[in-house]
Amino acid sequence: MNGKTLAAAAAVLATGAAGCWQMPQSKDPAPPPQDPPKVRPDYIQKAAVDYGADPDAQGENAVESALVWSEKYSRAMERVIRLQNECRDLEERNKKLLEQVSGLQTELSQARKELADANDLVLEMRRDLDQWKSNVLSFRAEMRSAQQAELEALSKVIRLLGGEVVQPTTRPAPQEAANENSETKSPGA
Q: Considering the entire predicted model, what is its pTM?
A: 0.35
Q: What is the pLDDT of residue 160?
A: 85
Q: Express each pLDDT in 156-168 by its tens digit.
A: 888 888 877 666 6
Of 183, 184, 180, 182, which is closest to residue 168 (Cα–Cα)?
180
Nearest to 165 by CA among 176, 178, 152: 152
Label residue 38 exposed, middle or buried (CB < 10 Å: 0-12, 13-18, 19+): exposed
Q: Measured between alpha carbons, how far is 65 from 56 in angstroms, rounded to an integer?
A: 10
* pLDDT, tens only, 118-140: 999 999 999 999 999 888 888 88
Specify whether the CB–CB gap between 79 and 87 falls below 8 A: no
Q: Greater confidence, 52 or 142?
A: 142
Q: Which residue from 67, 64, 65 is spatially nearest to 51, judged by alpha carbons?
A: 65
